[in-house]
Structure 1
Amino acid sequence: MCELLGMSANTPTDLCFSFTGLTRRGGETGPHKDGWGISFYDGKGVRSFHDPEPSASSAIARFVSSHPIKSKTAICHIRQANVGSVNLANTHPFVRELWGRYWVFAHNGQVPNFVRRVGMYEPVGDTDSEDIFCDLMNQVRQNLPRDAMPTQLASTLVSLAQEYASQGVFNCLLTNGDWLFSFCTTRMASITRRAPFGPASLQDTEMTVDFAAETTPADVVTLIATSPLTLDEEWDRYQPGEWRLWQLGELLAQGQVDVPRYPTTPAPETC
């Protein structure tokens, strides 16, 4: 199965701690050795790193882990390939421009025999994930106004996500840098850190951070991941069909729709 990691914060925040834990699952503590990628927003710009090598042994991943690139919104993905070969074009997150902003998308799951509808966006690689992203972007562009509010966007995104989930496993993160949309078919969890901050220890490597020394009392940082990254914090697990829309670290909207129930074993969640 692939794994996702997203961040929404009210102040520029580095992802070094959580990213370090996630990369261990890319070929060391987990099987997700078929590439990785991460995208950070800097204003309306996006700084992206991609590598088809395992994240646990990637020199580029080590560089990202050791450099505190600060952002209010970020999405990361580690891949275990099923649909599509192992190459740079098939590494998530995928990025497209719409209405003068970069939209970033990452997917965990498998949607067999997916057929993309006609539109201006087309995939570069050969994964079902990128095909779905292009379909989603085409549908948003064709059916919503340019000035659509986040909650109006969420209604369309939920409808599309439910449609994709009816065809296969569809866990996703999507953002335009302003908001972060998350949808769960099988597994996802989130945690919101705010004052009073305390220490946390990673599950996948011996590393502890005292967030009280790294933050201010006004900071709010939410992380969304396929599975919890820390040992000593209480993560809030999503239910199948649950979606949450985040903005500046806070929950803006949420809900739940009916989706088929899939086993949470690795086989159907590769991507």
Structure 2
Amino acid sequence: MVVKLSDVKPVYSAMFTFSDEAGNLRLTVDWQEAQDVGNEKFSFEQLSKKWTRLERDNGKPTSLLDVSLTDLRSGSAWQYDIHASQAVDESRLPRQLVDFANNLRFDPAAAKKESRDALFVRLNPHATLRSFQQRVSYRYTIANSDFKLELSRFQDRVYPARTASIASGGLPTLYEPRWSLSVYRTEWDTMFSQNERLSIGDQTTWQDDVATWFPYDVGPGISNSADADEGRGWDQLIEKLQKIETLVQSANAEDV
């Protein structure tokens, strides 16, 4: 059981993008240290592995929502976005890509070192890549809600076009590590997953009202009357974002 913020185990992610005429293919794999393993050795488990197809024109996920909420006084902004990409069954992939995914190996020692440019995943040297991103994320539950706050450190490697082969000596451009902070609900993923393979004429079970997507806070000291405004959950989310922004700005001020 996690009782302190320092007890939260990071999630290690690797995202690979491959060229394809029908639209680039993306493989995303997540790992996390197993809880209560009962010995001194590090034990990691694979949380998920997923293939998706990106837009043919721009090689990116499809943008469904792109809105910025800007504070005109500070110039800071929260970006609200929804992206979608087509899920791809592994049975429909070229054998080379399937082998690439099956041969990936997580390196616990490299992950624990947290070295600036070290790879914590071992790659098949015969696969052709367009880009590769490593990400280390810490996920926290925001009090009195089911919203998650995710703090991530990520680094991109982009391979030269047409010669993006590790085996052929195509060296990637290594970008500086970056940090990101996002807030989301895992329930959103659950609801949107119903759309992945929705048959013609069928519909999802989720409602498209504000209360479904931005529910009221719950927990000790939280009071939501029966006649509360439907948008109260949205207002509470905005309040959370403002508090988070204040904390981030305070941390930045201390580092200056």
TM-score scaled to structure 2, two decimals?
A: 0.23
Larger radius of gyration: 2
TM-score (ref. length: structure 1): 0.22
